[in-house]
Amino acid sequence: MSTLKLNNITVLREGKTIVDDVSLEVNSGEVHIIMGPNGSGKSTLLNALMGHPAYEVTSGTIVLDGEDITNLPTEKKAGKGIFLSMQYLPEVPGVTVLSFLHRAYRMLKGSDIAVLDFYKTLTEKVKAVGINEELLKRSVNVGFSGGEKKQGEIIQLLALEPKFALLDEIDSGVDIDSLNKVFAGIEQLRAQGLPAQAGTGFLVVSHLSTILEKVTPDRVSVMKGGKIVRTGGAELVREILTTGFENI
Q: What is the model's pLDDT at position 87?
A: 79
SS3 content of the chain, % helix, strand, coil (to 5): 35, 30, 35
Return mean pLDDT, the chain: 92
**pLDDT interval class at 153 (50, 70, 90):** very high
24 pLDDT above the threshold of 80: yes
Per-residue pLDDT of 50-104, as tens digits, reads: 999 999 999 999 999 999 999 999 999 999 999 999 878 889 999 999 999 999 9
**pLDDT interval class at 198 (50, 70, 90):** confident
CA distance linking residue 151 with residue 220, whole number of Å: 24
User: What average pLDDT does this structure show over 201-209?
Assistant: 86
Per-residue pLDDT of 92-140, as tens digits, reads: 999 999 999 999 999 998 899 999 999 999 999 999 999 999 999 999 9
Q: What is the model's pLDDT at position 134?
A: 95
CA distance linking residue 85 with residue 156, whole number of Å: 9
Contact by Cβ (8 Å): 17, 225: no
Question: What single DSSP character describes residue 37?
Answer: S
Q: What is the model's pLDDT at position 197?
A: 54
Domain boundaries, the chain: 3-243
CA distance linking residue 197 with residue 183, whole number of Å: 19
CATH assignment of 3-243, among 3.40.50.300, 3.40.50.10420, 3.10.20.30, 3.90.1150.10: 3.40.50.300
Per-residue pLDDT of 156-183, as tens digits, reads: 999 999 999 999 988 877 888 988 999 9
